[in-house]
A and B are shown apart, each in its own frame.
Chain A
Amino acid sequence: MQKKTSNLHAKFNAFVSTEGFKSFASSIMAIIFGLAVGFVMLIFANSKYAFDGLIALLTGGFADGMKSLGNVFYLATPIIMTGLSVGFAFKTGLFNIGGSGQYLVGAFVGIYISATWTFIPSSVLWIVALAGSALAGALWAFVPGLLKATRNVNEVITAIMMNYIGVYLVNHLIPLSPIYDSTRNQTVPPRSYIPRAGLDLIFPDSSISASILIAIACVVIVYIVLNKTTFGYELKACGYNQNAGKYAGINEKKCIILSMVIAGALSGLAGGLAHLANTGKYISVVDVLPQDGFDGIAVALLGLSNPGGIFLAGTFIAYLRQGGFFMQRYGYVTEVINIIIATIIYCSAFSAAFKNILTKIKSKKNNKEQKKVAGEEK
């Protein structure tokens, strides 16, 4: 019996000392700290309802039961996708700051195809539209990738430039195309939507659609590509050390271009998924970059660039945002949520330091136990 418990104990110890657990523990610490800062913000804004506000924020994702939860997944879909996009590029040592532009051109092409390609039956048109979104995003990221690989142009600057080019090009094209609603200065609703796939039965009255399933599929695919294929290994090798990769016979130019193109396709798809989900979302013709691309950076960092982590991080941020709607009832501005998210990201920067502390505590404990065992043997 005693042997069994000590066996379990050893297993627990082994689990606690894994990298994954340490990352998880440090993320939890970051979240707790972020929420504490958020609570202080609520107190400063209006101390009377601060506690109610915090509860509303934390439970908002469940406030109306499955409906709220469905909306959480709806809000999470695009930022999981842009998070995957940024995280994927990170793995190859590239910083895809162009998610916003890729998202926007993806959204435009998706709406355009779904509203005007009437020769395709509307039951499958959304698939074609989404493919168009991904292609547009890929094309937008191809430029920074190509220039980085062939001309050594810093991908950050090209991606920033492509963001703005995307905004102005889309603003130019929308009024010229049949998808323009000139009285509202925005795009018309698409003709073919992503189906609900029965999810509306589980999450009634919510905005959920098969988008979230597509996002989950992308999470799985990216995980497999990065961790189970030679191609993914090559991408990561280039990210760790370009020269070593080159020495090992990896075509690093191809890696850079493909990594950016795939990242762009993910962000472009994010734009398509967000705008074809039958929630009345449209593109306004204004000179402003969509926020979702920048949110992707936050999601990727919180998720430690791992596909699974990105899924959790995106869902968590969406959960807070959903809670933010309920927090507004007490007169608090939703910006508090971004302050919380910023604090969590900032604290996650300390994860390396926090992991060291955990390791130290572990090794102290181990030392003690070893001494104890040594004493018994004597």
Chain B
Amino acid sequence: MSIFYFIIQQTMIFSIPLLVVALGALFSERSGVTNIAMEGIMILGAFAGVLFMKYVQPILPGQPVFILSLLVAGITGMIVSLLHAYASINMNADQTISGTAINTFAPAFAIYTARIIQQVQQVSFINQFQIKEVPILSKIPILGGMFFKNAYISTYIGVLILVVSWFLLYKTKFGLRLRACGEFPQAADSVGVNVYKIRYAGVIISGLLGGMGGLIFVVPTSVNFNASVAGYGFLAIAVLIFGQWKPMKIFFAAIFFGLMKTLASAYSTIPFMVALNIPTNFYKMAPYIATIIVLIFTSKNSQAPKACGTPYDKEQR
């Protein structure tokens, strides 16, 4: 049973950053702007967050510094995403260009800045954020062991973001307008929706969540930040497509992928999987192969936002 709890806890560590970042990209793409800059946004968000954490931790230990760092990471992500928004919304540029530029810029800038500030490129922090047991809730049978022991506060924040995203997208006027801008912006414009403003909002939300997601990824898996989020930004885009641009499906896609990742990295603790005698690298491949197989059966009716990737041109109305 303890192995089962361990797997669930680990799955959360892999899944939540994917979920948060994919939800970020969701807002951008549902508004009609492709955002392959998520990797770069994650890197700069995590960088700013960890740097803040490093210097504030001695003064303010415990969970508050984590939450403040998440805010710093999110705001940094928003600032970076403005670059993407300006190029793809105001300048009608090809949306992969500024995304690629940001992905190239982010790790270079993080290393450059780290070297100026503290001579070495790795930014270290003290990981004091694991919650051994959440009071009361951890006493719930089964569920307590799964979700309320050895957890990170970011897990709950991630779930909260999921609920808020779903509500925002499907239950508010803003969400309806955002989706309209991604499907048929000319129609949205004809009824008085400012397509440019809505798309800006979409991209900025993606920056906020991307930056936070970067830090959420780094904190439980490491004690220093080395200008990389190991391709998780690209994986998050894969999760977004896998989840058919819908919040709940993205949630399941992220959990599926996180679970596969966990099984791949922790299989040596599971007697039955060791007994199978499959080489480590095949376990590592499994999440990616499984994703492809699932996609083969689910992609026939792709739900991609129709106007995603095309700059809005008023004259095409």
Contacts and interface: CB of A to CB of B under 8 A. Distances in A.
Contact of B100 (A152, A163, A345): A345
A156 B241 contact: yes
Interface string A331-354: 001011111011101101110110
A359 B294 CA distance: 49
A154 B105 contact: no
A359 B187 CA distance: 31
Contacts of A297: 96, 100
Given A165-B288, A341-B104, A333 B112 contact: yes
A287 interface: yes
A158 B105 contact: no
Contact of B91 (A45, A335, A349): A349
A298 to B, nearest CB: 6
Given A152-B302, A172-B282, A336 B112 contact: yes
B122 interface: no
Contacts of A151: 295-296, 299-300
Contacts of B100: 297-298, 301, 345
Given A165-B285, A346-B98, A338 B92 contact: no
Interface in B250-299: 279-282, 284-285, 288-289, 291-292, 295-296, 299
Contact of B92 (A342, A345, A353): A353
A22 to B, nearest CB: 16
A160 B238 contact: yes
B307 to A, nearest CB: 16
Category for how many chain A residues contact B: 35 or more
A289 interface: yes
A343 B300 contact: no
A351 to B, nearest CB: 8
B24 to A, nearest CB: 17
Contact of A338 (B105, B237, B241, B280): B105
A339 B242 contact: no
B116 interface: yes
Q: B96, B107, B301 — which one has the most chain A CB atoms within 10 A of its CB?
A: B96
Contacts of B302: 152, 154
A342 B235 CA distance: 22
Contacts of A336: 108, 112
A359 B295 CA distance: 46
A176 B235 CA distance: 29
Interface in A122-152: 143, 147, 151-152
B104 A158 contact: no
Given A147-B295, A298-B104, A157 B97 contact: no
A44 interface: yes
A342 B108 contact: yes
Interface residues of B, number: 48
Nearest to B309: A95
A352 B93 CA distance: 7
Contact of B284 (A163, A168, A348): A168
A346 B241 contact: no
Interface string A28-44: 00000000000001001
A157 B108 contact: no
A335 B111 contact: yes
Contacts of B61: none
A157 B284 contact: no
A97 interface: yes
Interface string B90-132: 0111101110111111011101100110000000000000000
B83 interface: yes
B234 interface: yes
A160 B91 contact: no
Interface string B28-42: 000000001000000
A306 to B, nearest CB: 14
Contacts of A169: 281, 285
A294 interface: yes
Contact of A345 (B101, B282, B289): B101
B109 A301 contact: no
A152 B96 contact: no
B38 to A, nearest CB: 12
Given A161-B288, A353-B91, A342 B102 contact: yes
11 contacts: A147-B296, A152-B302, A154-B295, A161-B288, A297-B96, A301-B94, A301-B100, A335-B111, A338-B108, A350-B91, A352-B91
Given A160-B234, A162-B288, A337-B108, 11 more contacts: A41-B112, A45-B116, A151-B299, A156-B241, A161-B291, A171-B281, A335-B109, A348-B97, A349-B88, A349-B93, A350-B87
Task: Return the 7 tightest CB-CB contacts between A and B, nearest first.
Answer: A342-B105, A349-B93, A338-B108, A172-B281, A346-B101, A335-B108, A342-B104
